[in-house]
Homo-oligomer: A and B are copies of this chain.
Amino acid sequence: MSFADIDSVDQYLADLQTRIVTSFAGFESHERFRGKRGGTVATTDTRTQPMVLEGGNTFDKAAVMYTRVRGEHLPTSVSDRRPDIAGAPFEAVSLSLITHPRNPFVPTVHMNLRFFLVATEQPVWHFGGGYDLTPAYPFAADAIHWHRHARAAVEAVYPGSYQALKQACDAYFTIKHRGHTRGVGGIFFDDWTRGGFATCFEFIKSIGERFLPAYLPIVRIRQGTPWHEEHKRFQRLRRGRYAEFNLVLDRGTRYGLESGRRTESVLASLPPQADWAYDWHPSQASHEALLETQYLSPQDWLT
């Protein structure tokens, strides 16, 4: 593999998209994923393959978005930090996914894996991404299972690094104005070059390969839980918090909207329904109350 080989990353992420879509579709009684009308969207500088499922039996919404972009000039968000390569052409490839499950006891999941390359004489590149889990009705067993896989994914390539990436995830996915994290976290990294391209790519694959084993067992265990309208209502209120994070704070979303990317792709992460109720609080010691008091502040799940 050559140095900073974007085509190999592209191929891996595109294949991973297919495998995840196939796997998610297996939870539905009939295929509901659809791409943009006519399939792949291609312009001279962008090739996207958005795959979105709505109104399924298991998933109210699942969006698994693949994008490859070629740009003539670096976005200022990058060149501000790297004036030495300002104005250079760049390429980027990313896989971004989210689920909004139908059963309120099944947690929402998010994963993003991306690679950015400026193919100047001395190539400049980095990886970024991570994954995190957001339950409405939390279970310690799920958070532990999830973090065991996150730790394994990191430690397989960078022994001793899980804790730092776990803390970066808690820090990034904090809804500051609410005073709590978005969910029970996972791992997060950006501007990632540690060990060189081949090692970083192994790391991306280590995360990618552990995504389905980390998430699907939780879906299988929780999807049979009986639920009523009151549980769905609470899930919609939590989806309101999710929308707040994505629209107010998420850097990828804000950058996507400001830079004029395809809005429907940038906002594919938004929940199908979100509720807001003024000054609403769950009753004390309810399962709903446990979420904020016991799950939405950073803690060690594996000790």
On A, residues with C-beta under 8 Å from B are 36-37, 50, 52, 54, 61, 63, 176-178, 236, 240, 243-244, 247-248, 254, 257-258, 260, 263-264, 266-268, 270-279
Q: Are B278 and A275 in contact (CB under 8 A)?
A: no
Cβ contacts under 8 Å, A277 to chain B: 54, 272
Which of B178, B263, B278 has a CB less than 8 Å from the CB of A178? Answer: B263
User: Complex Cα distance A258/B176, Å?
Assistant: 8
Cβ contacts under 8 Å, A52 to chain B: 278-279
**9 closest A-B pairs (Cβ-Cβ)?**
A247-B247, A177-B257, A270-B276, A52-B278, A264-B279, A177-B263, A247-B248, A274-B274, A273-B275
Cβ contacts under 8 Å, A247 to chain B: 243-244, 247-248
User: Complex Cα distance A270/B237, Å?
Assistant: 12
Which of B37, B257, B271, B275 has a CB less than 8 Å from the CB of A276? Answer: B271
User: Complex Cα distance A180/B277, Å?
Assistant: 27
User: Complex Cα distance A55/B278, Å?
Assistant: 11
Q: Are B243 and A54 in contact (CB under 8 A)?
A: no
